[in-house]
Structure 1
Amino acid sequence: MKVSIIGGGGRVGSNAAFALQCAGIVSEIQILDANADMAEGEALDLLHGSSSIADQRIYAGDYNRAKDSDVFVITAGLRRKPDESRLDLINRNVALFSGILDSMKAAGLRKDALVFVVSNPVDILTQLAAAKLNLPWQQVLGLGTMLDTARFRSLIAQELKLAATQVKALILGEHGDSMFPVWSSATYAGLPLTKIAGCTPTFQSQIFERTKGSGAEVIRRKGGAGWAVGLTIAEVVHAIAHDKRQVLPVSTVQQGAYGLRGVAISVPTIVGRAGALAHVEVELWPKEQQALQASARALNETFAKIKA
């Protein structure tokens, strides 16, 4: 499988490339960036380590060379400021993102190519990509609340002294201010997480608030997220490459699940080789259902204001 990372010279793109290299699952990784020297440098640095870990083709390229890619991972974007919400990035990032989409269209895409949006605000840009590229909804995915979910699970495990890989709990909705936790289906080793000692209503509230503020915390401390987001990008790409049919909280344009249509937002989604195979409409608590609807309304209101 060939993966092209647009914005691969930046922190998120380069970390994603490293995560994909370490797993050795995809066969080809192409790095594209507006800064051609940076793209060449990142590709060369990764190539230098290839003999230690995986037999892959890794190189810097351009849109024309990328047109036969199986998956386009778009990470390019302007960095969020410490006190800026993700949705505040819209006016600064839409023009940049639209230019990338135009370049992809000009070069051409395979009919079965998948477009995986990571750039923020990810839900808005995922919806924009689906509209501008005129691809079936299944072929355009956003990272959505994957990173929020990973942070949520990891922080729960850390605080309750649990094995992180056995904590299964979701963040759904917008990747941003209106995201919400799904405690109704949260489990630890298959057991209800809310029944685990220490998982009190107060703990639940505190851990979600810390999760929600994690992005700003990382920006404040080290300038921006990198490793965790790189791993979550790789998790989605590997679900595609291995046709895992794995349920993930990616963002896609909704087709009727939970009564939602036409808005890109994260709900449980089966991901495989053809992209988003289906949405899984698991039962939510009433307050979770209300939070999902509120999140969709917020995204619709914002999308209506952008100049695409």
Structure 2
Amino acid sequence: MRRAKITIVGAGNVGATCAHWCAAGELGDVVLLDIPRTEDMPRGKALDLMQASPIMGFDSNIVGTTDYADTADSDVIVVTAGLPRKPGMSRDDLLATNAKIVTSVAEEIKATSPNAVIIVVSNPLDAMVQQMFKVTGFEPAKVIGQAGVLDTARYRTFLAMELGVSVEDISALLMGGHGDTMVPIPSCTSVGGIPVTQLISKERLDEIVDRTRKGGAEIVSLLKTGSAYYAPAAACAQMVEAIVKDKKRVIPVAAYCESEYGVGGYYVGVPVVLGSGGVERIIELSLTDEETKAFQNSVDAVKSLVSTMDGLLAE
């Protein structure tokens, strides 16, 4: 049985760190791709990672390239390509430029790996995964966005810090768009099985949620010359693992919702069962009135973002 073939498009911080996590976890062989003008950079990073394998004890093969031919017949493709955020820049500021980049990547993937499951990471996430779906024409289950795993990880981190407990004992869920309108689901948040509302006041929980929403911007402001990459890359690797090992993980991702939650044909963050076929099913929750209102507000923001993107691409 051959190893899974995992391609990562974009050899910057997120892409290279994702390659690191995937290779070290022996999830498959990794192809690290970047644009031609980067010349030998992806090859250098791939070789450096390969030379770490005897030390860390993993046997994944890692190839760096600028040629999509080397990615042919990939099982999973993680798309990190695009401009990162800089201080003072919102995810939406990236819209026009990254939409064109994602369009180009989508066309290459469609030609070289028509059976792959695609995980989009590029921002603004919800619009970029919508564009990837539109251009590739792949079935919606095989085009997904990485946001929910990262957002939930940030939420769990802040909750663990607040309570002084292990992150392993925090179970949480965030839904909706990836950004300021993301929706926490308190009814699905617990600490060792104890509802979080019994441990943290609503006012303090609201503050933690607000910090989670701004989690990426907080790191951008601290780094000053880039954006988060360790946690986003780890989130991607977890999704890759769920797919290549057919783990049937129940995790939040940006998935294509038609009748589900009354969304009507857009990608938004919802809990799914993630396995070898990509999104194997979307889990529909019974939300409270407050949660439903917040989720609809987030969906409306995603629809507006996609409409703006379509307008920019039509110019």
TM-score (norm 1): 0.95
Please report how far the alpha carbon of residue 104 of structure 1 lies from its aligned counterpart in structure 2 after TM superposition. 2.2
Greater alpha carbon shift after TM alignment, 87-96 vs 68-77 = 87-96
**Residue equivalent to 1:13:** 15
8 A contact 1:170–1:249 mirrored in 2: yes
Residue 131 (structure 1) shift: 1.0
Give runs of aligned pairs for residues 185-200 of structure 1, distance below 5 A: 185-196=188-199, 199-200=200-201
Alpha-carbon displacement from aligned partner over 1:143-187 (angstroms, at most 9, x marks no partner): 022211100001100111111011011121100121121111111
Contact 2:22 2:28 in 1 (8 A): no
1:71 to 76, 84, 91: 76
Deviation of 1:268 after TM superposition, in Å, equals 0.7
Distance apart, 1:105 and its partner CA: 2.7
Secondary structure in 1 matching 2:265: strand
Given that 2:247 and 2:275 are in contact with CA atoms closer than 8 Å, whether structure 1 keeps it comes out as yes
What amino acid is aligned across from residue 108 of structure 2 in structure 1? S
1:215 equivalent to 2:216? Answer yes
SS in 2 for 1:49: helix
1:60 aligns with 2:61: no
Residue 110 (structure 1) aligned to one of 101, 109, 114:
114
Q: Show the counterpart of 2:267.
A: 264
Question: 2: distance between equivalents of 1:238 and 1:154?
Answer: 21
Give, as a single letter, the amino acid of the residue that structure 2 aligns with 1:66: T
Q: What letter matches 1:103 in structure 2?
A: E
Give yes or no for the alignment of 1:29 onto 2:30: yes
2:167 matches 1:164: yes
Could you say what the CA RMSD is over the residues aligned between the two structures, in angstroms? 1.2
| One-letter amino acid matched to 1:82 | P
Secondary structure class of the residue paired with 2:298: helix
Which stretches in structure 2 are left out of the alignment for 5+ residues? none
How many angstroms does 1:225 deviate by?
0.5
Letter in 2 for 1:39: P
| Map of 1:155 onto structure 2 | 158
Task: Tell me the equivalent position of 1:238.
Answer: 241
- What per-residue deviation string (whole Å, max 9, x for no partner) do you get for residues 21-74 of structure 1? 2222x2200000111321011101101111122111111132112121000100
**Deviation of the 1:90 alpha carbon:** 0.5
> Secondary structure of 2:31's partner?
strand
Q: What secondary structure is seen at the aligned counterpart in 2 of 1:252?
A: strand
Distance (whole Å) between structure 1 residues aligned to residue 136 and residue 108 of structure 2? 11
- Residue of structure 1 in register with 2:142 after alignment: 139
In structure 1, runs of 5+ residues without a counterpart are: none
**In the alignment, residue 14 of structure 2 is paired with which amino acid?**
V
Question: Could you tell me how far 1:114 is from its partner in structure 2?
Answer: 0.5
2:295 and 2:72 map into 1 onto residues whose CA distance is: 36
Correspondent of 1:88 among 90, 93, 101: 93
Looking at structure 2, the residues matched to 305 and 210 of structure 1 have their Cα atoms a distance apart, in angstroms, of 27
Query: Which amino acid counterpart does residue 145 of structure 2 have in structure 1?
Result: G
Mapped to 2, the partners of 1:38 and 1:275 lie a distance apart of 31
- Scaled by the length of structure 2, what TM-score is found? 0.93
Q: Distance in 2 between matches of 1:165 and 1:16?
A: 21
- Does 132-141 or 256-265 show the bigger shift? 256-265
Deviations for 1:204-234, whole angstroms, at most 9, x for unmatched residues?
A: 0111111112211111212310111111111
2:113 counterpart letter in structure 1: L
Distance 1:207 1:73 in 2: 29
Q: For 2:265 and 2:222, how far apart are their aligned partners in 1?
A: 37
Distance 2:242 2:93 in 1: 31
